[in-house]
């Protein structure tokens, strides 16, 4: 699922963030970054997706 989010983050950065965190602060920050420059929007989106994936891995490994 993360690979789909990363591909979406490259094509449309706000969509990747939206699927990862919803309509929160990071989504709106990503909208602004994408408006100001496409590359900063991509970097932010990939960073959000990867950091959330690491958080999920840590949570799932501590509960097993």
Domain ranges in the chain are: 2-63
Rounded Cα distance, 22 and 26, in Å: 8
Q: What is the pLDDT along the chain (64 residues), one digit of tens a residue?
A: 789 989 999 999 999 999 999 999 999 999 999 999 999 999 999 999 999 887 777 777 766 5
Virtual torsion, Cα 8, 4, 52, 62, nearest 10 deg: 180
| DSSP assignment letter at 8 | H
Indicate the pTM of the whole model.
0.84
């Amino acid at each position: 699922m993360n690979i789909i989010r990363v591909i979406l983050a490259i094509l449309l950065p706000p969509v990747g963030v939206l699927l990862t965190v919803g309509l929160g602060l990071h989504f709106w920050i990503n909208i602004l970054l994408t408006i100001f420059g496409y590359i900063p929007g991509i970097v932010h989106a990939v960073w959000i997706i990867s950091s959330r994936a690491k958080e999920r891995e840590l949570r799932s490994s501590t509960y097993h």
